[in-house]
Structure 1
Amino acid sequence: MIPPVFNPKEILALWDYEIPNSQTSDEVELIENKDIIRISKVQIPTLEVYLPAKRSNTGKAVLICPGGGYSALAYDWEGTDVAKWFNTKGIAAFVLKYRLPDSRSVTISHEAPLQDAQRAMRLVRNHAKQWGVDPAQVGIIGFSAGGHLAATLGTQFDSKTSFKEDAIDSLSARPDFMVLVYPVITMKNNYTHLGSRNKLLGEAPSEALIQKFSNEMHVTRHTPPTFLVHSGDDKAVPVENSLQFYQALKSHHINAEMHVYPYGGHGYGLAIGRGRLQTWVDRLADWLEHL
C-alpha cells in the first residue's frame, strides 16, 4: 500500500472517530479576523501542517499551541506565523487548534486541552515517516495560556486517558523539547493569570485542581529540555511564572535556558519591529541547533 502524500498546510482532524469528552450542543465555532485571527468555541480540534522544503529539512518538528487565555486562540499571531518561521529553519511545524474549556460542547472542561495536545503529539509521531520527521525530535511551543498547555503536556504527558484508546494512543505524548513564551505556569493565587485559571478550572477550583495544573509542581527528571522567554514588565502573566519553572527545572538537572527581557509586556508573538526583543527567535534557533 502506498502511503498517503501530505501537502504543506493540510489540516487534519485530531480524532477520526467520536471526539472524547464532548457532548452535543448548539454552539458554533467563531473565527474573527481583525488585527489577528482569533478562534473561539472550537468544535473540531485540528492540526495544521507546515512542512519545510525537503532540501532544508532537519528532521525536527514542533507542535504549536497558540495562546488566548483559554477563551480563544491567537491563531496566526502565535500559530501559523510561528509555523512559517520554523519552516525557514528546516523544522516541520504543526499548529494545534485545541478545544477551549469554556465551550458548551466540552463535558469536563479542564481535561479537553490536554487531551487534544496528547493526541496531536501522537498524531505527529504516527505520521513521522510521511512528513519527514524524526519521531525522537518532536517538541512543543506554547504562548501564554498555550504555554500553560505546553508545560502541562511536558510535565504530565503520561496522564491517563478517560476514553477508549486506539493504536495512535499507544505512542508517546512526551515532547522531546519545550519552548515556553510568556507562559502561564502556576494556578496558585500568588502569580497565576486569573483569567486563564477561571476558564480552565472554574472560579472556585478545588485545591487538588490548583495543585494538578500548577506545572512548577510536576517537574521531574523526565521533563524535557526547556527554553523560556518572558518580559520583566509583563503585567498580565508575571515573570515569576517562568522563574519558578526554571528553578524547578534546574533543581531536577534539566537542560534549561531562560531569556528575560526588560520590556515587551505580554503577547508580542514573534516581536517583529520590537527592537532586540525580536531577537528571541535567534536565541531559540541557536538553542535548537545545539540541543
Structure 2
Amino acid sequence: MGKCNQGGAGRKERNMKQAKRIAAMVLCLLALLALPAGAVMEKGEPNITAQTTMKEVRNNPGIKNSGFYTYSQDKDCPPGQALWEMTTVEGYTNEYVAEGCAKGLNLVIENYNNGVQVTHSFYTDAEKAADRTKNNTGLFYFPAKAENAKFALILAGSGANESAELEEGACTAWQLHELGYAAFILRYRVWTDASDDAPLEDIGRAMQYIEEHAAEFGIQPEQYAIVGYSMGGHLTGLFGTESVGYKHYNVPKPAALLLGYPINDMTYIKPIYHVIQDIGAYGPKYYTRNLSDEITPDYPATYHWHGVNDTLLKELAYWRQGPQLEAALQANHVKHVYRVFNNAPHVCGIGTGTDAENWLVEATAFWEEQCA
C-alpha cells in the first residue's frame, strides 16, 4: 500500500515536471513568434574582405544589428556619403589596415551571431539626455577565446571630426583576439564634442564599466593594457599619469601602455583645439599637455613606436614626439621599449605590409612580462 502510494506520488511529480518543461517550451515558442518577422534568423555572413563595399558592410545584419561603428564622419557627410558607400573597405581605410579591418568586422559578425552583445554604453540614459555629446560614445566588446583572459582597451586615433575605430580599432581587436586576449574598442568624444577633457572622462567611465562587468565579460579585472594610436596614444599616455589619469576614476593602474605613433606634443594645433573645444575656458586641457611633461617614476610600463616616414609626426615637429617621450621615460627610469621603424606610415595600425608588422606581438609579450 505504502509502495503504491509512493509510486503514485513519484508519477505525479514526474508528470508535474514534464508539464513544466512543456509549458517552458511553449513560452519560448510564443516569445519567438512575438519577435518581428526575420529577427530570429537575421544573422550576417562573416564574408567581408578588403574589397567589400562599405554599403555591403553596413547592410550586413551582423554589423548593422550589432551597433558596431563603421563611419568616418568627415567622409560620410552629405553629399559624399553615397560615393563613399560604394568604396571598398580598403579604399575607405588604407592598404595597411584593410585586411585586418575586414577580419575584425568578420569577428564582430561571428560574435553577434553567437549572441554576444557587441555594443555597450558606459553612460546612463539620464547622463546622455543631459549631455547630448555622450550619445557619440560607445564600447565595442570582442570576447577572448577562453574565459578569465586578460583584456586590452583600444583607443584609435582621431583628428578633427574623424575617428579611426574602424581603421586601427578593428584590426587591433582582431589581432588581440588571435593572441588570446579580450579587447574593447572605445569610441570617445572628438572635435566639438571633446570640451572640458571629455575624452579622458570617457576612458575613465569606460574602465569603470569594464571593471564592474568583468565577470560578465569573462575577463581578469586587473593587469590590463591600453593600446593607443596617434591622438588615442596621447590620451592613453595621459590616462597613465597621476595628474589626470586612472587614479581620478578609482580604477587599477594599467599594467602596460602600448602606444603606436603617439602624439606627445600637439604643437601648433593647441590653439586650434582651444578655439574649437574650450573657447573662454582657462587651465590646461588634454591637448595642451605634453605627455612627456606628465611622466613620473611610477608611470606604467610603456611600449611605444613610430616610423621614420610618419609625415604627420614630422609636421608636428618630429623631435617633440617620440624622441621627447623617450627622453622622459628614460629620465624617470620607467620600464619601457622604444622602436623606430624605417617604413611605418601614420595610421598603419597593426602594421601589415610595413616594418612594424609584428609590433603588437612583441608589445603583448612586453605586457605579459609586467604581469609575471
Residue 225 of structure 1 corresponds to: 301
Equivalent in the alignment of 1:270: 350
2:245 matched to 1:157?
A: yes
Matched residues, percent identical? 24
1:177 aligns with 2:256: yes
CA distance in 2, matches of 1:208, 1:69: 19
Deviation at 1:206, TM superposition (A): 6.4
Deviates more, 1:215-224 or 1:230-239: 230-239
Shift of 1:44: 3.2
Q: How does 1:30-69 map to 2 (within 5 A)?
A: 43-54=135-146, 59-69=149-159
Structure 2: how far apart are the matches of 1:69 and 1:42? 18
Q: Any unmatched runs of 5+ in structure 1?
A: 1-5, 25-40, 161-168
Query: 2:128–2:134: 8 Å Cα contact kept in structure 1?
Result: no
Give 3-state SS (helix, strand or coil) of 1:202's partner. Answer: helix
The Cα shift of 1:130 comes to 2.3
Tell me which amino acid in the other structure corresponds to 2:145: A
Query: 1:243 pairs with 304, 311, 323, which one?
Result: 323
Structure with the higher fraction of residues in strand conformation: 1
Could you report, residue by residue, the CA deviation over 1:85-133 in whole angstroms, capped at 9, with x for unpaired residues? 1011111100001111323xx6xx1411111011111211112222222
**Cα distance, 1:188–1:88 mapped onto 2, change above 3 Å:** same
Q: Is the 8 A contact 1:122 1:173 kept in 2?
A: no
What is the TM-score with the length of structure 2 in the denominator?
0.60
| Distance (Å, rounded) in 1 between the aligned partners of 2:222 and 2:247 | 20
Matching residue within 123, 136, 140 for 2:226: 140
Q: Secondary structure at the match of 2:207?
A: helix
Choose between structure 1 and 2: higher helix proportion. 2
Task: Report the AA paired with residue 182 of structure 1.
Answer: Y
Gaps of 5+ in 2: 1-113
Q: How many pairs align?
A: 248
User: 2:120 is aligned with what amino acid?
Assistant: L
**Is the CA contact (8 Å cut-off) linking 2:123 and 2:134 kept in structure 1?**
no
Give the equivalent residue in structure 2 for 1:164. Answer: none
Q: Deviations along 1:123-154, whole A, 9 cap, x unmatched? A: 11112222222222111111111111111211
Give the C-alpha shift of residue 221 in structure 1. 2.4
Q: Does 1:96 align with 2:186?
A: yes
Q: Give the C-alpha shift of residue 219 in structure 1.
A: 0.7
Q: Normalization by structure 1: what TM-score?
A: 0.75
- Asked if 1:83 is matched to 2:173, the reply is yes
* Contact 2:235-2:286 within 8 A present in 1 as well: no
Going from structure 1 to structure 2, the CA distance change for 1:20 and 1:255 (only over 3 Å counts) comes to farther
C-alpha displacement at 1:268, in angstroms? Answer: 0.9
SS at match of 1:285: helix
Distance 1:47 1:244, change over 3 A: same
**Partner-residue secondary structure (3-state), 1:62:** strand
Q: Distance in 2 between matches of 1:74 and 1:211?
A: 18
Find the residue that maps to 1:140 and give its secondary structure: strand
Match for residue 120 of structure 2? 12
Higher-Rg structure is 2
Q: How many angstroms apart in 1 are the aligned matches of 2:140 and 2:236?
A: 17
CA distance in structure 2 between the partners assigned to 1:12 and 1:187 by the alignment? 31
Q: Residues 94 and 208 of structure 1: is their aligned pair in 2 closer, same or farther, counting only changes over 3 Å? A: closer
> Does the 8 Å contact 2:259/2:304 carry over to 1?
yes
Return structure 1 stretches of 4+ with deviation > 6 angstroms.
Answer: 203-207
Confirm or deny that 1:259 pairs with 2:339: yes
Q: CA distance change for structure 1 residues 19 and 210 in 2, over 3 Å: closer, same or farther?
A: closer
**Partner of residue 205, structure 2:** 119
Structure 2 Cα separation of the partners of residues 185 and 20 of structure 1: 31
